[in-house]
A and B are shown apart, each in its own frame.
Chain A
Amino acid sequence: MFVLLRWITQTLCERKSVCVRVNLFIDEFCSLINIVTTMQKYSLFSLARNALSGHRNWPLAWRSPPLKDQYEVVVIGAGGHGLATAYCLAKEFGITDVAVLDRGWLGGGNIARNTVTIRSNYMRDESIPFYVKSVSMYEGLTKELNFNMMHSKRTMVDVVQTWPKLRELRRRQLVMDIYGSTYEQITTDELRRRIPALTGGGPDARLPIICGMVHTDAGVNRHDAVAWGYARAADAMGVEIHQQTAVQSLIRGADGAIEGVETNQGTVRAKKVVVAVSGHTTTLTETAGLKLPLRTMNLTAFVSEPVQPLVDVIVNCPDSGFYFSQSDKGEMVIGGAPDMGQSFRRDIKQNVFEDTVTSMLSLFPSFKKLKLMRQWGGHLDIAHDASPIMDQTEVPGLFVTAGWWGGYKAIPAGGLTLAHLVAKDEPHPLMSSFTLDRFRHLDFVMEAGTTTAR
């Protein structure tokens, strides 16, 4: 009984997310008092006003205009990267004649098929500044988009169980120190104090825990809000979002440059076309005769029933092959390893699922009682060196953003840098190392090992 009480108080005291939420609320409140005319500002006043009319008069968050046959820029894929790019094209570069086309519904692609982990613990000089920027942009996104992202900067803790992994993480720590990202080693005792549910991995385990590594910049937020917030803000500046509009092929002109796209709703012309479709990048670019160094893989995730607050950090167990965080609703959001071969499936395979659960129970035996509710696979493409590709291709006017293994964390800075590339025809400084040139010169940015990719 005493142990249980102590554990409960510890857990409560450690819920850093509580104070983060208070801060968020204050942020929210400050932004509430501003009233902007371009779009219906969500605020205390708008809430009160609409409450008086029984919430029957809320305006639609975005329009569904008829599809025109020509735009300045067509963005394929209304996921996080596509919407953030359209938003930044309008906001930063004044390009508003933009259509974002999606074959499904808004918020139904990979933006809904990830584990909402936002972090910047990478290895290379080229990568870390980009992810540091993206994480900091996420932290201000609620205010920027006037949409509550429910951002919870709750820290990620790596559970280290092998010496090679510890060496690799220490090496990352040294590089991250240079660029202002955070990584810090803690003892096993401290690790167990911060994560009371971590009762496995003792001295007799096959892989005893060696220590923990703490990345305080990491957080989670709400994926729907990211999609809806960007969509609403982009729409308010004139960007058009077209759902159920499947691009079937890319059209090239006689001079070889991009001329537009063929869709199930007809032909749409544009001098600039952006491919932001995650796992299906090569499926589309092959229609323009391109070959890209990308393979499509399936990544496993599943969710438990909601339970009382139990774990207040993101727990990453790279040696065991799983990671999880507890959502605000109380569900454990659990991610595992990818399938071994290429895959365009959107479910997970039973053996991958069972392997992940077995690993998880070896460190968190009490999770045996959890009922698992939903599973999903995101299919995503990975480049030859496991780093993203953002570039204008050899087809003039055709831009790709791809190879985002865990691209959720990269959405805000990914949109900003891609909009820069599209508007100015030259890469943003943060992404200048991630063009296709690095393959032409065999100048890889090796990030294999800093993601779940094997």
Chain B
Amino acid sequence: MMLIPCPFCGKRNESEFIFGGPVVAARPDPNAVSDAEWVEYLTIAPNPLGPVQEKWWHARGCGEWLTIWRDTRTHDIVEAPNGSE
């Protein structure tokens, strides 16, 4: 069980959170980018063997959305969200 640091509630059980997916680039203007860039935005997420940045929602807690860096090899949280420490 991961203990995810919430900026408001402190370290809480992973089971209180809902996974919000990896952090991807900001949504581009589809009319301003090429088809290839648009497809890349829609379909490709980083898949590193190591730290990945991802969003979690403290749905069964305070409701805060937060962002952590988590190592995909160990599940260690290597960087806590801003303001949680």
Contacts and interface: CB of A to CB of B under 8 A. Distances in A.
B72 A343 contact: yes
Contact of A349 (B22, B49, B75): B75
A339 B13 CA distance: 14
Given A295-B22, A296-B72, A351 B49 contact: no
Binding site secondary structure of chain B: mixed
A8 B14 CA distance: 43
Interface residues of B, number: 24
Contacts of A341: 19, 22, 52, 54, 70, 72
A439 interface: yes
Interface string A372-395: 000000000100100000000000
Interface string A9-24: 0000000000000000
Contacts of A442: 39, 42
Contacts of B74: 345
A294 interface: yes
Contact of A351 (B15, B36, B47): B15
A293 B73 CA distance: 20
B1 A351 contact: yes
Nearest to B14: A351
A439 B37 CA distance: 12
A439 B39 contact: yes
B1 A282 contact: no
A202 B40 CA distance: 48
Given A340-B19, A349-B1, A384 B43 contact: yes
Interface in B1-49: 1, 13-15, 18-19, 22, 35-36, 39-40, 42-45, 47, 49
A294 B75 contact: no
B39 A344 contact: no
B47 A296 contact: yes
A360 to B, nearest CB: 18
A38 interface: no
Contacts of A349: 1, 75
Which of the listed residues A339, A344, A351, A440 has the most CB atoms from chain B within 10 Å of its own CB? A344
A341 B26 CA distance: 20
Contacts of A282: 47
A424 interface: no
A283 interface: yes
Contacts of A50: none
Contacts of A439: 39, 43
A342 B70 CA distance: 9
Interface residues of A, number: 24
A329 to B, nearest CB: 32
A51 to B, nearest CB: 48
Nearest to B74: A345
A239 B75 CA distance: 39
A293 B41 CA distance: 10
A206 interface: no
A186 interface: no
Interface string B45-84: 1010100101000000000000000101111000000000
A350 B40 CA distance: 35
A242 to B, nearest CB: 23
A293 B43 contact: yes
Contacts of B39: 439-440, 442
B40 A343 contact: no
A339 B54 CA distance: 14
Interface of A: 280, 282-283, 291-296, 339-345, 349-351, 381, 384, 439-440, 442
Interchain residue pairs A-B with the least CB separation, the first 4:
A340-B19, A293-B43, A384-B43, A351-B1
25 contacts: A280-B49, A283-B49, A291-B44, A293-B44, A294-B47, A295-B22, A295-B47, A296-B47, A339-B75, A341-B19, A341-B52, A341-B54, A342-B47, A342-B52, A342-B72, A343-B75, A349-B75, A351-B13, A351-B14, A384-B42, A384-B44, A439-B43, A440-B35, A440-B36, A442-B39
